[in-house]
Structure 1
Amino acid sequence: MKILRSNDYRHMPWKNGGGETIEIAVSPDRAPLSDFDWRVSMATVANDGLFSSFPGIDRTLSILEGAGMTLSIEGRPPKLLTVADAPLSFPADVTTSAKLANGPITDLNVMTRRQSLRHRVRKLHVEHSQPITSHARELIFFCHRGSVALSTEGVSATLHALDTAVLQPVAVTLSADIASEVFLIEISSA
């Protein structure tokens, strides 16, 4: 289990230069934007505009904070995405633009290289104890709100808000003393 603390995340400009992204985790480690297998990041979107294009990449977007934004994704009707909505998946290489609903938002962005990997993102509300089983090749837990303890095969760790754990698929138990929110990201072979 690899624990990533929020104060260790890497800050970098967006690919299109329109803002800043906070890279939470990337594989392989320190891979550039042009050559990653998978990537998890957060960004604050303060203005309407176009998304960066990532050829051969699939992406899933979740709203963490703010009133939301309307996404115009090529080939789809416009979609308002808010904190209450499930994560939204779409190709990262089609023309996509965003119009903010009411001020800046913060989003969670998950991307995988389409030819070799696929991913699934689930928002989990954790209270008390919750077992997690998965057949994915890698599991990533991103603690959005609260504090969550992870335990697996004699190893345990606590994630506080905005911390992340990356681990191989094993039986994992999440537990929380207060209502907490975690994003579970499952990375699998294509």
Structure 2
Amino acid sequence: MLSVKNSPANIRHHRFNNYPMKPWKNGQGSTLEAASSCDQQGNADGRWRVSIALLNENSAYSDFCGYTRSQLMLEGEPVTLTVQQSSGTEQRIVMQPLSLLRFDGGAEVCCDLRAPGVKMFNLMSRDNKTSHVLEALYSADLPARPDSSGEALLIFTLSTNVELQVGQQGYSLGQFDLLEVQQPEGQVICVQSAVGGDVSAIIVRIGGSSSLPLKPDEVSNNLAAKLEQL
């Protein structure tokens, strides 16, 4: 397995076992931070962030007004999310593994757990700075070359082992690892094989094609091959 220091400067392999644990903004939970955007000096600039939220008790989500958020349930018993919009409307959504929810980061969201030990893939991007597009990559479709447009391409693995190639460089990713490719356009990126699970990875394009207006909150319990742009 190749280490980060042997990779080109625009590619970073973020390993699940090395994700730092950080408290939620509101202090009601914790998250494993996988990757976040940085400026040219290497300082976090708040444009986007990918993390794994750890849900172990009923709690309220933090307020991230000005961001668009996407959550994909990775593991655990079903979770009921109550989403309160600024318009006053309330929506109750039952999440289960591979359920996807997109919502305004400023909405009031509370989670009601049946059991602790829930993991949620959590992606957010700042509305006035960038956007994000999600795509599910199915193991049956491998090998595959994801669209490499945009300012960054993120490959978040769901399978226990995923082999991929970026140019002449090979990478072996474990479950919940993330490969970050900055300025990917023009690079040949191929996900070659995967072990375990029908969905091998989630492909995230940061700053891809033109963004669509944010639609009302909705959940998909059967992850489509391609998810609408947020």
TM-score using structure 1 length? 0.88
User: Higher strand proportion, which one?
Assistant: 1
SS in 1 for 2:131: strand
User: Matched residues in 1 for 2:59 and 2:201: separation?
Assistant: 28
Q: Which residue of 2 aligns with 1:129?
A: 143
CA contact (8 A) 2:159 2:194 kept: no
Partner residue of 1:117 out of 119, 130, 134: 130
Partner residue of 1:155 out of 169, 192, 195: 169
Partner residue of 1:49 out of 49, 59, 62: 59
CA contact (8 A) 2:164 2:193 kept: no
User: Matched residues in 2 for 1:109 and 1:30: separation?
Assistant: 21
User: Matched residues in 1 for 2:133 and 2:110: separation?
Assistant: 22
Stretch moving more, 164-173 or 17-26: 164-173
Partner residue of 2:203 out of 180, 184, 187: 184
Stretch moving more, 140-149 or 164-173: 164-173
| Residue correspondences, number | 186
Deviation for aligned residue 1:145: 2.3
Q: Percent identity?
A: 24
1:25-64 alignment, distance < 5 Å: 25-28=35-38, 29=42, 31=44, 36-64=46-74
Partner residue of 2:80 out of 58, 70, 73: 70
Are 2:106 and 1:89 aligned?
A: no
User: Matched residues in 2 for 1:129 and 1:21: separation?
Assistant: 32
Deviation for aligned residue 1:79: 1.0
Residues 82-120 of structure 1: CA distance to partner in whole angstroms, max 9, x if unpaired?
1132x2111111111111144431111001011111112
CA contact (8 A) 1:136 1:187 kept: yes
Partner residue of 1:172 out of 178, 186, 189: 189
Q: 1:109 to 1:73 in 2, by over 3 A?
A: same
RMSD: 1.9
User: Matched residues in 2 for 1:123 and 1:47: separation?
Assistant: 28
User: Matched residues in 2 for 1:101 and 1:134: separation?
Assistant: 39
Deviation for aligned residue 1:48: 1.2
SS in 1 for 2:207: strand
- Which amino acid in the other structure matches residue 153 of structure 1? G
User: Matched residues in 2 for 1:22 and 1:185: separation?
Assistant: 18
CA contact (8 A) 1:126 1:174 kept: no
CA contact (8 A) 1:123 1:184 kept: yes
SS in 1 for 2:163: strand
Partner residue of 1:99 out of 101, 109, 112: 112
- Could you list the runs of 5+ residues in structure 1 that have no partner in the other structure? none
User: Matched residues in 2 for 1:58 and 1:150: separation?
Assistant: 29
User: Matched residues in 2 for 1:177 and 1:78: separation?
Assistant: 35
- Deviating 4+ runs (over 3 angstroms): 101-104
- Which amino acid in the other structure matches residue 146 of structure 1? T
Q: Which residue of 1 aligns with 2:3?
A: none
